[in-house]
Amino acid sequence: MSQFYTDRQLEQLAGEFDEQGFLRIEDAVDADQLLHFNAAIDRHRLAFPDRWVELSDSFCEGTNVLPDTADFDEAIENPRVLDILRRIIGEEITFEEFAIMLREPTANLDEIKGWHRDIVREYDRRMEIDAVSVMVYLSDVTERDHCFSIVPETHNRLVDLDPLEVPLDAGVDVLGPAGTAVFFHARAIHGGRLKPGSSQRRTLQSYYSRWRDQRTAEWSEIPERLHGKSDPALPPRFYAKWNETNILEGVGKRPADLSPDLSISEVIREVQRRGREKM
Ligand SMILES: O=C(O)CCC(=O)C(=O)O
């Protein structure tokens, strides 16, 4: 039983997600949580600059922050989001990955995150992608701001569409006030759309899948604080992948040929570069 949605609402939301490949709800996070998350980001960047990866002058990401702080646990476990995810994925739902994304104002509008599918970049392997991402906006995203864009139904009915064939101006820009949550299927074609007058855009992003599958990415360590937790409000195997070493071949996996001396940031940069080559 959800305390936020009726059964009928959950059914409608899950139905919309299944058909469109994405879903947007406002007020997933309240004003106090927004203040808390934004302040936690500032603290983390100051205290742990090495955990942050810059993939371009507009793209900065914190990918392995959970070992350093419990500040974002409530974003991963947000019941307003989880109630919907449980309907979409079922009780086998498990947490995969968490990242903080900052999209900075820039005059360089060449987007590093052009149209793509997540996790696996090879077109022929697109059916292996089976995860749901939830992106929570911590700043307002207006038509003037860099935004997340998605091509509806490309997770399913239009799954044969190749990201390389999608025109730059296609897709739906998903705008919304701070506190909005956007759920999207990782197989749906999506990307960032950069705007010349954008403010800094801040988002939190979590990925979820099923606990029986391989892990989709190994960038977010799941600390004991989370996997040792016994919370009846959470799905039963929510942090089951904390020690999973079987990682899906793709942009979530450290390539075996890279030097062990490279930091996670350097590895992610290289994996993203190789991923773009494979498209
Ligand atoms: O919203 C954005 O800026 C891009 C997000 C994206 O492409 C991704 O999360 O894979």
pLDDT digits over 169-196, tens only? Answer: 999 999 999 999 999 999 999 999 999 9
Q: Which residues of the chain have pLDDT under 70?
A: 112
Which pair of tokens denotes residue 146?
């860099």
Structural domain boundaries enclosing 67: 7-278
Atom of ligand 1 nearest to the CA of 133: 9
Q: Please say whether the beta carbons of 215 and 146 come within 8 A.
A: no
Which pair of tokens denotes residue 165?
């064939």
Residue whose CB lies within 8 A of the most ligand 1 atoms, among 101, 204, 272, for a mutation test? 101
Q: Is residue 227 part of a domain?
A: yes
Rounded to the nearest angstrom, the distance between the alpha carbon of 191 and the centre of ligand 1 is 5
Rounded to the nearest angstrom, the distance between the alpha carbon of 177 and the centre of ligand 1 is 17
User: How many domains does the chain contain in total?
Assistant: 1
Protein residue whose Cα sits closest to atom 6 of ligand 1 = 191
Q: Is residue 47 part of a domain?
A: yes
Q: Is residue 245 part of a domain?
A: yes
Q: Is residue 2 part of a domain?
A: no
CATH label of the domain that carries residue 115: 2.60.120.620
Rounded to the nearest angstrom, the distance between the alpha carbon of 230 and the centre of ligand 1 is 32
Protein residue whose Cα sits closest to atom 4 of ligand 1 = 192
- The helix-helix angle for 79-89 and 7-20 (nearest 10°) equals 60
Q: Is residue 58 part of a domain?
A: yes
Q: Is residue 228 part of a domain?
A: yes
Atom of ligand 1 nearest to the CA of 190: 7
Protein residue whose Cα sits closest to atom 7 of ligand 1 = 191
Helix (H, G, I), strand (E, B) or coil at 210: strand
pTM of the model: 0.97
pLDDT of amino acid 110:
79
Summarised one tens digit per residue, pLDDT across range 23-47 is 999 999 999 999 999 999 999 999 9
Q: Is residue 82 part of a domain?
A: yes
Which amino acids bring their CB within 6 angstroms of ligand 1?
Answer: 103, 113, 118, 148, 190-192, 205
Give the separation between CA 71 and CA 40, rounded to whole angstroms: 6
Q: Is residue 1 part of a domain?
A: no
